[in-house]
Structure 1
Amino acid sequence: MSSPDRTIHYGWHIVWAGTFCVFACLGLGRFALGMILPAMGRGLELSYSQMGLIGTMNFVGYLAAVLFCGALAERLGYRLLITMALGLIGSTMILIGQSSSLPLILLLYALCGMGSGAANVPMMGLIAHWFHRSQRGRATGFVVIGSGFAILLSGKLIPFLNDLAGEEFGWRLSWQVLGGIILLVALLCLAVLRNSPRDKGLRPYGEKTGPGEPAGAPEESRISPKIIAHLGAIYFLFGYTYVIYATFIVTTLINEHGFSPASAGNFWAVVGLLSLLSGPLFGTLSDHIGRRKTLALVFAIQTTAYLLVAVHPPPALLLLSITCFGLVAWAIPSIMAAMVGDYAGPFKAARIFGLITFIFAIGQIAGPAMAGVLAENSGSFAGSFLMAGLCTILGMLLALRLRPLAS
C-alpha cells in the first residue's frame, strides 16, 4: 500500500501544488490589488472610499463562498472545486482589465473573491487529510507562502507593466496578465491535486504505526461551539487588521511619504520575500511550542508593524514596519488551519475552517471599508493603522486564553 520510506510522500506534492493554488487565489487574486490600486485609482479617478470599496467587494465575495465551499468540496471533490474556483478568478481578473465602469468592476471583483474563498478554504482543508496532526503546522506553513511569491512577483511585474504600457493602460495590462497566470495554475492543480491519500494507496504523512497509535486510527474531534467562537474571534481580528495594511501600505508610501511607484514596489517586495519564511517558520514553531503561544507571538509582531507606520516614521522605521509585517504575514492562516484540523479532525476540518473563515471574511470586509472612511475624513491612513494595532493587541490576549488541546 505505502511507498518506500525513501520516496517522497505524495502529500508533499499536494503541498507544492497548494502553494501554487494560494499563490494564485490569494496572492494574485487579492494581494496584487495593493500594487495595482494607485494607478487604477488615478486612471478611473477614484476616491479613497471607492478604492476601499473595491477591496471590500472582493471580501464580500469571499464571505459568500466560504459558507458553502466545505460542503461543496465534499460533493464535487477538493480537486475539481479548486480548479473551477481558480478558473473563475482568472476569468474575472481578465475582464476587470477591460472594464471602465466602477459598478461592473465591483461585481467582477466580488466574483473573484468568491473564487478565492472556494479555492483557499478547500485547499487548507485538504492538508488535514494528507498530514497527521504532528506535521500539519509545517505543511500548512509551506502552502500559505504562495502569497509571498505572488507579492514578490507583483512588486516587480506591475511597475514593469506600467512602464511598458504607460500608467493609463498599465493597470489594465496587469489585471489581464495576472488573470492569465491564474488560469495556468488552475490547470496545474487539476493535474496534481488528489482528494485523499487513499487515492494513492497511502496514509497521511506523519501518521505513526504501533501499539500507541494504530495505523489508520481516525483523529478524534474535540470541537465545540465555544471553541469555534473563540477561534472565530481571533481570526476576525486578523482579517480586520492585516487587510488594512496589505491594501493601503503601498498607497500610503506613495501618497503620504513621497515614494515613487517603483520604490514602493521594492518595499512591498520586501514583504513578499520575508513572508516566504512566515508560514514554515511559525507553522513549525506551533508544532513544537503549541498553537496558542505562537499565535500570541505573531500578534505581538503585527502590533509593532501597525503602530510603527501609524506615527509617520522616517524611512528606516517604515522598513522595520514592513519587515515585521512580512516576517509574520501568513503565519496566522497556517496556524489556524492546523489548529482547526487539530480540534475538528480531518473529516470536519474543511467545514469548520470554512465557518471560522466566514467570520474572518467579515473582518476583511469591515477593515478596508473602515480604513478608507477614516482616511477620507482625516486625509491620512495613520488613524487606520493605529486602529489595527489596538485590535492586534486584543488578538494577542485572546490567543493566550485559548484552551490547550489535550494530547
Structure 2
Amino acid sequence: MIDKNASGAPRIRDNWNYAWVVLAIGTLCEFGAVGMGRFGYGMLIPAMQASLGMSNTEAGALATANLIGYLAMSALGGALATRFGPRIVIGLGVLVSGLGMVLTGFAAGPLTAAVWRAVTGVGTGGVNVPTMGLVSAWFSHKRRGMAVGILLGGNAAALIVSGVLFPKILTDLGDNGWRMCWYLVGGLTLVTSIIGLTLLRNPFTRKGLILRREQSATDTTVAADKTTASGSPKEAITTDESGTAPSDKSTLNWKLVYRSGPVMHLGLVYLTYGFSYIIFITFFTKRLMADMDYTKEAAGALFMLLGWLSLICGGLWGWFSDRFGRKPAIIAVYLIQTTSIALLATTGSTVTVVLSAIMFGLSSWSVPAIMAATCADAVGPRMAPAALGLITLFFGVGQAVGPTVAGAMADASGNFDNAFWLAAAIGAIGTLGVLPLRRKSISAACREF
C-alpha cells in the first residue's frame, strides 16, 4: 500500500512494492491488446480466408492494416504517455483494441475486416510502448530488462491460449468460428481496460522506500539538503539509488531525442526485427497447413509450444541483458531468430519445424524488452517512452510492410518458401547492424550540455 510520509511524498510500506502490481496489470494489458489483438490473427487466417474469400495478399493486407494503425498511434503513444501519464493512455488503448476485435468479428468482407483490424492496431499502439515505458520507469536499472521481459510474457500467454482455444472453437463452430474467437477475446480485452484504468499507476522515482514524483519541489529540496551535508551535490542530484539519471527538462531535450543519429540507428535495427518476426508469426499456421499439410490441431499445438517457450524468453533474455549488456543480448537473440526463420523456410522434416518453433519461442519476444531497457538506460525513465516511441516507428514500418510483401510473394510462387527466406535475410542484416551500436553514443546524443 501507499501512504504519505511527513513531507507529503508517497511512501511504500516495507512489506509491499506497487511496482509488481503495475507489472502484473501491464502484463494483462499486453495479453489482451497486443497478444490477442495482433498475434491471435495468425491462428485465424485460414478460417477467415475461407469465409471471406481472401487471397494470401489480402490476408497479409489485413495484418498490414492492423500494423498501420499501430504505427500511427506509436508515433504519438510515447509522447502522449509522457504528457498525460501512461495510465490513461494505456487504459484507453486497451479499450479501443478490445472494441476493434469485437467489430472484426462482424466483418462482412476484406475491406471492413481491414478497417477494424486498423482500429485494433490503433489501440495496440496506445498500449505497447507506454506499457513498456511505464514498467521500465517503475524498476531500477538492475531489474529493468527482467521486468519488461516478464511484461512481454503476456504476448506469449496469448499464443498459448489461442493455440489451445481457437482450434477447438473453429472445429465446433465451423466456418464462422473465427467470429466467435474475435467476440470472445475482444470482450475479455474490454474488461481488461477497466482493470488497467483502475489499478495502473503513473511512475515515480525511487529513493529507498520513498517514491517521489520527479517534479516534486518538496522532495527536491530535501534531496538538496542531504546533498549539501554529504559534500557531493552534483552526484546526489543527478543520480538516484538505481543509478539512473533523472531525466528532467533541464538535462534532456525532446528535439535531441527525436533527431539523434544513434537513436535512428537503433530504430533501423528494430525495423529489421519487425519485418522478419511478423512474417513468421503471421503466416506460421498458414505455412504449416498450406505448404506442409498440417491439420489445424497440429498447427495449433506448435503455436502453443511456441507460446509456452515465449513465456520464459522475455525474463530470461532480460536477465541476460541486465547481466551481460544490451548489445550482446540483441546480437544473440537476432541470430537465434534468424536461424529459426531459415529453418521454417526449408521444406524439411517435422524435426526442423519443431526446432524452428522452439528457437523462435526462446528468442523473439525478448527483443522489445531489451529495446525498452536500452532506451531507459540511455535517456532515463522520464524520456524513455519518447525514445521508445521513436524507434517503435521504425519497428512498425517493418511490421506493416512484411505481411503484404510475404502474402504477395506466396500468391506469386504458390508457397511461402521465398517469403520466409526473405524474412531470414532481413534478420541477418539486422544482426550485422547491431555491431556498431554504442549505448554511450545514444545517451550523449540525447543530452543537452
Tell me, yes or no, if the aligned pair for 1:34 and 1:249 is still in contact at 8 Å.
yes
* Cα distance in 2 for residues equivalent to 1:228 and 1:404: 10
| Structure 1 residues 329-340: aligned runs within 5 Å | 329-340=364-375
CA 1:3 to 1:165, structure 2 compared with 1: closer, same or farther past 3 Å?
same
From 35, 43, 60, give the equivalent of 1:52.
60
Q: Show the counterpart of 2:46.
A: 38
Q: Show the counterpart of 1:173.
A: 180
Residue 170 of structure 1 aligns to which amino acid in structure 2? G
TM-score, structure 1 normalization? 0.94
Does structure 1 residue 140 correspond to structure 2 residue 148? yes
Deviation for aligned residue 1:128: 2.8
Q: Show the counterpart of 2:403.
A: 368
Deviation for aligned residue 1:265: 0.2
From 185, 199, 211, give the equivalent of 1:202.
211
* Cα distance in 1 for residues equivalent to 2:65 and 2:210: 42
Q: Show the counterpart of 1:403.
A: 438
Deviation for aligned residue 1:9: 1.4
Q: Show the counterpart of 1:322.
A: 357
2:383 partner SS: helix
Which deviates the most, 73-82 or 17-26? 73-82
Which deviates the most, 237-246 or 100-109? 100-109
Q: What is the identity percentage for the equivalent residue pairs of Structure 1 and Structure 2?
A: 36
Deviation for aligned residue 1:251: 0.3
Q: Show the counterpart of 2:98.
A: 90
Tell me, yes or no, if the aligned pair for 1:130 and 1:203 is still in contact at 8 Å.
no
Q: Show the counterpart of 1:18.
A: 26
Does structure 1 residue 193 correspond to structure 2 residue 200? yes
Deviation for aligned residue 1:19: 0.7
Deviation for aligned residue 1:23: 0.7
Deviation for aligned residue 1:203: 5.5
Q: Show the counterpart of 1:343.
A: 378
* Cα distance in 1 for residues equivalent to 2:435 and 2:212: 33
Tell me, yes or no, if the aligned pair for 1:128 and 1:345 is still in contact at 8 Å.
no
* Cα distance in 2 for residues equivalent to 1:404 and 1:16: 29
1:180 partner SS: helix
Residue 148 of structure 2 aligns to which amino acid in structure 1? T
Aligned residues: 401
Does structure 1 residue 78 correspond to structure 2 residue 86? yes
Tell me, yes or no, if the aligned pair for 1:129 and 1:196 is still in contact at 8 Å.
yes
| Structure 1 residues 379-390: aligned runs within 5 Å | 379-390=414-425
CA 1:300 to 1:81, structure 2 compared with 1: closer, same or farther past 3 Å?
same
Q: Show the counterpart of 2:127.
A: 119
* Cα distance in 1 for residues equivalent to 2:178 and 2:304: 18
From 287, 292, 317, give the equivalent of 1:257.
292
Tell me, yes or no, if the aligned pair for 2:67 and 2:121 is still in contact at 8 Å.
yes
Deviations 1:178-228 (A, max 9, x none): 101111111111121001237995269xxxx99876647625769671211
TM-score, structure 2 normalization? 0.85
Deviations 1:58-108 (A, max 9, x none): 011011101111222234321111111111111111111112122111111
Residue 39 of structure 1 aligns to which amino acid in structure 2? A
Does structure 1 residue 234 correspond to structure 2 residue 269? yes
Gaps of 5+ in 2: 6-10, 214-226, 444-449
Gaps of 5+ in 1: none
Q: Show the counterpart of 1:275.
A: 310
CA 1:86 to 1:4, structure 2 compared with 1: closer, same or farther past 3 Å?
closer
Q: Show the counterpart of 2:162.
A: 154
* Cα distance in 1 for residues equivalent to 2:194 and 2:363: 30
Deviations 1:304-333 (A, max 9, x none): 101111111111110000110001121100
1:258 partner SS: coil
1:178 partner SS: helix
Of structures 1 and 2, the larger Rg is shown by 2
Tell me, yes or no, if the aligned pair for 1:305 and 1:320 is still in contact at 8 Å.
yes
Tell me, yes or no, if the aligned pair for 2:12 and 2:18 is still in contact at 8 Å.
no
* Cα distance in 1 for residues equivalent to 2:274 and 2:282: 12
Q: Show the counterpart of 1:61.
A: 69
CA 1:344 to 1:215, structure 2 compared with 1: closer, same or farther past 3 Å?
closer
Q: Show the counterpart of 2:301.
A: 266
* Cα distance in 2 for residues equivalent to 1:391 and 1:58: 21
* Cα distance in 2 for residues equivalent to 1:234 and 1:340: 14
Report the aligned-residue RMSD.
2.1
Deviations 1:245-280 (A, max 9, x none): 000010010111111101100000011000001110
Residue 288 of structure 1 aligns to which amino acid in structure 2? R
Which deviates the most, 195-204 or 149-158? 195-204
Deviation for aligned residue 1:242: 0.2
Does structure 1 residue 102 correspond to structure 2 residue 102? no
Which runs of 4 or more aligned residues in structure 1 lie more than 4 Å from their structure 2 counterparts after TM superposition?
A: 198-201, 209-217, 219-224
Q: Show the counterpart of 1:3.
A: 12
* Cα distance in 2 for residues equivalent to 1:303 and 1:75: 37
Deviation for aligned residue 1:282: 0.3
Residue 318 of structure 2 aligns to which amino acid in structure 1? G
* Cα distance in 1 for residues equivalent to 2:212 and 2:332: 33
Does structure 1 residue 218 correspond to structure 2 residue 246? yes
Residue 191 of structure 1 aligns to which amino acid in structure 2? T
Which deviates the most, 233-242 or 129-138? 129-138
